[in-house]
Structure 1
Amino acid sequence: MEASLELGPLLRTWRGRLQPADVGSPFGFTSTRTPGLRREEVAWLAGVSPDYVKRLEQGRAHPTASVVYALARALRLSDAETATALRLAGHASDLRALMPRRITPSVRRLLDRLADTPVAVFDPAWTRLDQNPLWGALTGDSRGRGEREDNLVWRIFHGDPGRVRHPRPNEYRASIVADLHRVHTRYPNDSDLASLVSTLRQSSDEFAQLWSTSALGEHGNERKTIDHPELGPIELDCDIVTVQGAELRLIIFTAEPGTTAAEQLRLLDVVGTERVSTP
Structure 2
Amino acid sequence: MVSDPSQTPPAGPAPGPSPEVSVVVPVFNESGAAPDLAREIAAAFAGWPVEILFVDDCSRDDTRERLAALKTEIPALRLLAHSVNSGQSRAVRTGVLAARGEIIVTLDGDGQNDPADAPKLVDALRAGPSDLALVGGERVRRQDSAAKKIASRIGNGVRRRLLRDTANDTGCGLKAFRREAFLRLPYFDHIHRYLPALMLREGYSTLFLPVGHRPRTSGASKYTNLGRLWASASDLLGVMWLQSRARRPGPVAEL
TM-score normalized by the length of structure 1: 0.30
Larger Rg belongs to? 1
Q: Give the number of the structure whose residues are more often helix, by fraction.
A: 1
